[in-house]
Structure 1
Amino acid sequence: MSYSKKLSLFLIFDLVIVWISIYSSYYFRFDERIPSFYLQQCLTLCLVSTVVFTASMFYFKLYNRIWQYASIGEMISITKATIWSCVISFILTCLITNRIVPLHVFVRTFETTLLLLGGFRFAWRIYADSYRKIVPTQLKALIIGAGGGGSTVAKKLKGNKDSKVYPVAFIDDNALKHRQEVFGLPVLGNRDKIVEVVAKHGIDEIIIAMPSVSKREISKIIEICKTTSASLKIIPRIDDLITGKLTYNEIRNVEVEDLLGRDPVKLDLGGIAGFITGKTVLVTGAGGSIGSELCRQIARFDPLTLLLLGHGENSIYSIEMELSRRFPTLKLETVIADVQDERRIDEVFRMYRPEVVFHAAAHKHVPLMERNPSEAIKNNVFGTKNVADSADRYGAGKFVMISTDKAVNPTSVMGATKRIAEMYVQSMNSSSTTKFVAVRFGNVLGSRGSVIPRFKEQIAMGGPVTVTDPKMIRYFMTIPEAAQLVLQAGMFAEGGEIFILDMGKPVLIVDLAKDLIRLSGFESDVDIDIVFTGIRPGEKLYEELLMEEEGLATTQHKRIFIGKPINLSRASLELAIKQLEKLVDEDPTIIRDGLKHLVPTFQNEHVS
């Protein structure tokens, strides 16, 4: 039916309600015998109300609403429209007829009109809710959480006839809600009933709708849900809802990040702002996974200028466009440069004089660097030295290098080069006014070339998913989590420290693969095979975050620790690095021997 036809029907129906309300009020006021004068007044009131009610209903936009989704807001609008219409109509009628309309008539007309107008509209809503049943093509959904988030999801799904999913029940840990109904759906018990309910009701999809619950609790619920055959969805966390980043409507797939159960990082916002706000900040490797996230986090603290330095023009262009859109008042400078180019890096520092430097540029792929050890040295060692020397030369206040757990007792060329970079940065602190520190952490979920995107690609292709060894263990954290903790560590920097981030519990890579297969709607070793390929050159079964001689001290932040500074001679290191420079064009075996000389703990056992 067209809008104009619907409008005409609604308008006629509403006016009939108004006339009936007025006439019935006079009828019962005068015990079924309306005196002739009041009968004329009744007709006058009907005519006046026709005009006034019509204008009022349009003014409060009651004909622009979809009553199938009516709620408290619509009821308030009906009440306002009825009050104003009755008051104005009765005043005008008193003036026209020169006699007061009986108070009983006024009150009864208001009550009857409000009851019938609201009742008619909400009856339509109740009818739509009650008679729209699940159809065979729709998936049955179980909603975890019968609070505000869950009820909103249920309302949206029940009200959308085109939805592929229809809710059939709730699960909630609050015992007071058990055996109750929310939007006509039963609350069938607590989380211990999830498996039973899924099996009994043939649930196809579980929606976790608990935005205010901690990630740790969400992780526990996901572990239970994983034992069922239902696919898993989740609504956004409360902080995403508050900031407007996401809405209740954006039900998403459960990701590996949800399985880790890591709560959001709590930052000392004032302290971070103290060393970033109003400063010129340089981020090297700004187009990379960590570098770009650092830029996003830094931009929140209103730096004077944010310098985006990177070797790849496409990635730098991409982060520049994103930041320009999200932070329109932020002053950005994009610099295409290679950290290996000493003269170019010196030129950048001389031109912009950055006060804070985050050095994230690095070659990080272990197998690739095993095959190209000279490139790992050029970028990770010489590149770091170039940036650190320029920071010292031009008086930067703080220099924060992004390191890796692979630098501890390294078994790979990449790890050994990052350890040398750490050593050089630490050695700078004794002879420089710049505060040099390194921040060391493990694997980052979703970073380029990391295991998660590779697993997802393999699953999308139908498998197999390749895992190097069933015993391989890794620490993981999210990209925003890592970037935020790097900023926090930078605030603590006094010079010479290596900050170690709390990576939580280590994860078996094979379990990670199984979880990803399950979350993709498949069953491991049934739909998607897992194949073990053997440890690659330079890889470890497990990673370490701390060397024996470093010790460990706490900081003001419970998830950041300090490895105590080790006294290193800058002059000796510079000499050793010059000797290493002479080896970069030599045979890989000779290069590894040179790395071993600088990093005695380097054990390159898996070279093929």
Structure 2
Amino acid sequence: MSRLPSIYRLAQVALDAIVAILALFLAFFVRFEGTLPAQYWPLVEGILLVGIPARLLINWAFGVYRQIWRLFSLRDFWALFQAGSFYSLSLILLARLLLPKVIALPVLPLGVAVMDWGFCLAGMTCIRFLRSWQTPSTKGKHRLSTAQTKRLLLLGAGRAGAQIVRETRQNDRFNFQVVGFLDDDRSKLGRQVEGIQVLDKISQLVSWTNRLAVDEVLITMPSAPSDRIQRAVNLAKLEGIPIKIVPPMQELLSDRSLTRQIRDIRLEDLLGRPEVLLDFNQKLSNDFPSATEQIQDHVVLVTGAGGTIGSELCRQLARLQPRQLILVGRGENSIFHIDRELRQTFPNLEVVPVIADVRDTARIQKILRHFQPQVIFHAAAHKHVPLMEQNPTEAIENNTIASAKLALLADQMGVQTFVLISTDKAVAPTSFMGLSKRLAELLVSGVARQSQTRFLSVRFGNVLGSRGSVVLIFQEQIARGGPVTVTDPTMTRFFMTTPEATRLVLQSLAVGKTGQILVLDMGEPMRIYTLAEQLIRLEGYVPERDIKIQTTGIRPGEKLHEALVDEDEELCSTPHPRLNCLNKKQLHYLPVDFTLEQIETILKSEQLECLWQLLSPNFSSIAPHERAVDNTLN
């Protein structure tokens, strides 16, 4: 019984049959100016008895009756268009060329066939749109009487706004009633989108929220520049109006409704950086396949997979459909969370969580031998500068030695590509954390010189919202009522959103040559003080009036300003405009085995300041046996 067509589908078929019959007669009447010549009656009867049922069967074959009419969309229309066109072409072939030669039937006029196609397609489309329009109106009346319904004002009368209106009408679980649009496009003012009027410019936000008793404002401009978003947020926050946003285009999941992706305003929405949209299918160099080709159907391993960069790398990688994604990390909670998230978001992806410390070389070797990854992203690292100043041995062991030994293992196991995640702290380092990452860059480049594996290092600045980052610290201080502590009013840092940084890391696969250090285009540096002010405003407060900003002084190991390129490094372009590579006047690698011996000797002697000697330009030019008796390193 469950296989029989439902009454609902039979009703759809019946309505389409009525439309098809009316379209046929209308086509004849229009063609012959209100009459139907007697000579064509046998043809009409044949079409009614055979053609109409055939049309309905063709519709069924093209999936037309699997559609939900109240959710009728452009994709559904395309199926209807294909079915109607196939029927009409078949009708022309049979009724004009074949049947008149076999049986005594008049030739079907071409004008009738064309008009029948147009009238039928228009009629079937109209009844589906009437159903989709009828559904929200009845539901809207129901929700108006619901006390929990939120009155929603949308900023941006484009496609995203129209989709939000449709989704809120079609799903009772979304307790929203859209009461109007605001948009700065003058051509839209006074017009309607999905039956909702475009009332005014966004600058009139406060006036309309009061007039319409708005409960919440939603920014539906995925491609809007940050300054427009900033102005809207400032207007809403000053009046205490809750405001949310539809994420930017690069964050939207195409297989999810927009309404489910609505979120709070984040700092990155106000950052002022241009949107980065990358095509991972694009082949950027004759030397390498596209990023997608290097990931799709490959085994990919990510160390530090539970961290901010590592977990976002896993999300971006999952979209490229690797055969297997290995999540390596030593924190079981963070690995548990990213593993569960990926399984929910990408149910067809094979995800393997592995708890391991990258410093445990024997354990890592077993993992690589078992899974045989073709691509490794090494994101595991200690990153906090002041904390590593107090624990320099941990920084060197985790960031330098473990990275070099993992690179050596990658070479031994025949890994195709190894990507080291580096940092701007590695440029002219003044901290042990920066030193540890600079040594890692040089050692990985050293491994690359004698390996078939491609080794890349990707260097970028701060990412917004990473665990323990300045953004989260400021947010905690604001939540406590202040003060917000800034080390120096003039201090600047490079900032990038986590998705943006990881997307560029993935794109580096398509351009990076082995041994290269690639540098992401981070834009202009941002004053930390300005960052604090923006976060305070984002929470609806006024800096210095509601929340004080206090200067505390630079901490050990910190720089006033970071750089992405050292004095003896030259920035060169790559085939991708947002990725650059470094050329260095002097040798930019270290002999791996000997350097590791020297580092371990220094760590045992606890004369950690000797580590800085490894960066000396002369170090790479001294013969190994001479270095062994170099007293400065012992």
**Worse-matched range after superposition: 382-391 or 478-487:** 478-487
Q: Tell me which residue corresponds to 1:362.
A: 381
Question: Within 5 A, what are the aligned runs for 1:511-522?
Answer: 511-522=530-541
Instruction: Determine the C-alpha separation between the residues in 2 that align with 1:158 and 1:352.
Output: 48
Q: Tell me which residue corresponds to 2:505.
A: 486
Instruction: Determine the C-alpha separation between the residues in 2 that align with 1:285 and 1:554.
Output: 29
Question: Within 5 A, what are the aligned runs for 1:440-455?
Answer: 440-455=459-474
Instruction: Determine the C-alpha separation between the residues in 2 that align with 1:72 and 1:400.
Output: 45
The partner residue of 1:596 within 608, 612, 627 is 612
Q: The residue matched to 1:351 in structure 2 has which SS?
A: helix
1:296–1:122 distance in 2 versus 1, CA, 3 Å: closer
The partner residue of 2:370 within 351, 355, 362 is 351
1:312–1:183 distance in 2 versus 1, CA, 3 Å: closer
Q: The residue matched to 1:583 in structure 2 has which SS?
A: helix
**CA RMSD of superposed structures (Å):** 3.8
Q: Tell me which residue corresponds to 1:233.
A: 244
1:183–1:570 distance in 2 versus 1, CA, 3 Å: closer
Tell me if 1:220 matches 2:192. Answer: no
Q: Tell me which residue corresponds to 2:34.
A: none
Q: Give per-residue Cα distances to partners, 1:443-495, cap 9 Å, x unaligned.
A: 11121111222222222222222222211211112222222211110232321
Question: Within 5 A, what are the aligned runs for 1:248-267?
Answer: 248=259, 250-260=261-271, 261-267=273-279
The answer to whether the 8 A contact 1:385-1:424 is kept is yes
- How far 1:502 sits from its partner (Å)? 1.2
Amino acid at match of 1:459: I
- How far 1:416 sits from its partner (Å)? 0.9
Instruction: Determine the C-alpha separation between the residues in 1 that align with 2:583 and 2:505.
Output: 17
Considering only CA atoms, is the larger Rg found in Structure 1 or Structure 2? 1
Instruction: Determine the C-alpha separation between the residues in 1 that align with 2:379 and 2:432.
Output: 18
1:265–1:598 distance in 2 versus 1, CA, 3 Å: farther
Instruction: Determine the C-alpha separation between the residues in 2 that align with 1:127 and 1:480.
Output: 38
The answer to whether the 8 A contact 1:374-1:585 is kept is no
Instruction: Determine the C-alpha separation between the residues in 1 that align with 2:524 and 2:556.
Output: 25
Q: Tell me which residue corresponds to 1:582.
A: 601
Q: Give per-residue Cα distances to partners, 1:58-95, cap 9 Å, x unaligned.
A: xxxxxxxxxxxx9998xxxxxxxxxxxxxxxxxxxxxx
1:443–1:194 distance in 2 versus 1, CA, 3 Å: same
Question: Within 5 A, what are the aligned runs for 1:335-346?
Answer: 335-346=354-365
Q: Tell me which residue corresponds to 2:188.
A: 177
Instruction: Determine the C-alpha separation between the residues in 1 that align with 2:152 and 2:175.
Output: 10
1:578–1:478 distance in 2 versus 1, CA, 3 Å: same
Q: Give per-residue Cα distances to partners, 1:401-420, cap 9 Å, x unaligned.
A: 00001101112110111000
Tell me if 1:268 matches 2:280. Answer: yes
Q: Tell me which residue corresponds to 1:145.
A: 156
Q: Give per-residue Cα distances to partners, 1:121-154, cap 9 Å, x unaligned.
A: 989959977996999x999865322345445657
Q: The residue matched to 1:564 in structure 2 has which SS?
A: strand
Tell me if 1:316 matches 2:335. Answer: yes
Instruction: Determine the C-alpha separation between the residues in 2 that align with 1:124 and 1:349.
Output: 55
Q: Tell me which residue corresponds to 1:529.
A: 548
Question: Within 5 A, what are the aligned runs for 1:2-17?
Answer: none
The answer to whether the 8 A contact 2:143-2:149 is kept is no
Amino acid at match of 1:381: T
Tell me if 1:556 matches 2:575. Answer: yes
Q: Tell me which residue corresponds to 2:422.
A: 403
- How far 1:562 sits from its partner (Å)? 0.8
Q: The residue matched to 1:244 in structure 2 has which SS?
A: coil
The answer to whether the 8 A contact 2:234-2:537 is kept is no
Q: The residue matched to 1:292 in structure 2 has which SS?
A: helix
Instruction: Determine the C-alpha separation between the residues in 1 that align with 2:313 and 2:135.
Output: 54
Instruction: Determine the C-alpha separation between the residues in 1 that align with 2:136 and 2:573.
Output: 62
- How far 1:181 sits from its partner (Å)? 6.2
Q: Tell me which residue corresponds to 1:45.
A: none
Instruction: Determine the C-alpha separation between the residues in 1 that align with 2:172 and 2:364.
Output: 60
1:219–1:495 distance in 2 versus 1, CA, 3 Å: same
**Worse-matched range after superposition: 221-230 or 501-510:** 221-230
The partner residue of 1:466 within 470, 485, 501 is 485
- How far 1:249 sits from its partner (Å)? 5.8
**How many aligned positions are there?**
480
Q: Which runs of 5+ in 2 are unaligned?
A: 1-68, 73-129, 283-289, 618-634
Instruction: Determine the C-alpha separation between the residues in 1 that align with 2:580 and 2:426.
Output: 16
The partner residue of 1:501 within 504, 520, 529 is 520
Instruction: Determine the C-alpha separation between the residues in 1 that align with 2:525 and 2:570.
Output: 20
Amino acid at match of 2:229: I
Q: The residue matched to 2:311 in structure 1 has which SS?
A: helix
TM-score (ref. length: structure 2): 0.66
Amino acid at match of 1:266: L
Tell me if 1:330 matches 2:346. Answer: no
Q: The residue matched to 2:603 in structure 1 has which SS?
A: coil
Question: Within 5 A, what are the aligned runs for 1:47-66?
Answer: none
- How far 1:177 sits from its partner (Å)? 2.9
Amino acid at match of 1:503: M
Question: Within 5 A, what are the aligned runs for 1:361-440?
Answer: 361-440=380-459
Aligned residues: percent identity?
43
Q: The residue matched to 1:552 in structure 2 has which SS?
A: strand
Q: Which runs of 5+ in 1 are unaligned?
A: 1-69, 74-117, 602-608
The answer to whether the 8 A contact 2:156-2:219 is kept is yes
Instruction: Determine the C-alpha separation between the residues in 1 that align with 2:552 and 2:412.
Output: 48
Instruction: Determine the C-alpha separation between the residues in 2 that align with 1:421 and 1:519.
Output: 38
The answer to whether the 8 A contact 1:497-1:565 is kept is no
Amino acid at match of 2:338: I
TM-score (ref. length: structure 1): 0.69
- How far 1:176 sits from its partner (Å)? 2.6
The answer to whether the 8 A contact 2:410-2:418 is kept is yes
Amino acid at match of 1:474: R
Q: The residue matched to 2:259 in structure 1 has which SS?
A: coil
Tell me if 1:208 matches 2:216. Answer: no
The answer to whether the 8 A contact 2:329-2:335 is kept is yes
Instruction: Determine the C-alpha separation between the residues in 2 that align with 1:237 and 1:487.
Output: 19
Instruction: Determine the C-alpha separation between the residues in 2 that align with 1:190 and 1:410.
Output: 50
Q: The residue matched to 1:401 in structure 2 has which SS?
A: strand
The answer to whether the 8 A contact 1:496-1:565 is kept is no
The answer to whether the 8 A contact 1:279-1:305 is kept is yes
- How far 1:497 sits from its partner (Å)? 0.7
- How far 1:265 sits from its partner (Å)? 3.0
Instruction: Determine the C-alpha separation between the residues in 2 that align with 1:124 and 1:471.
Output: 54
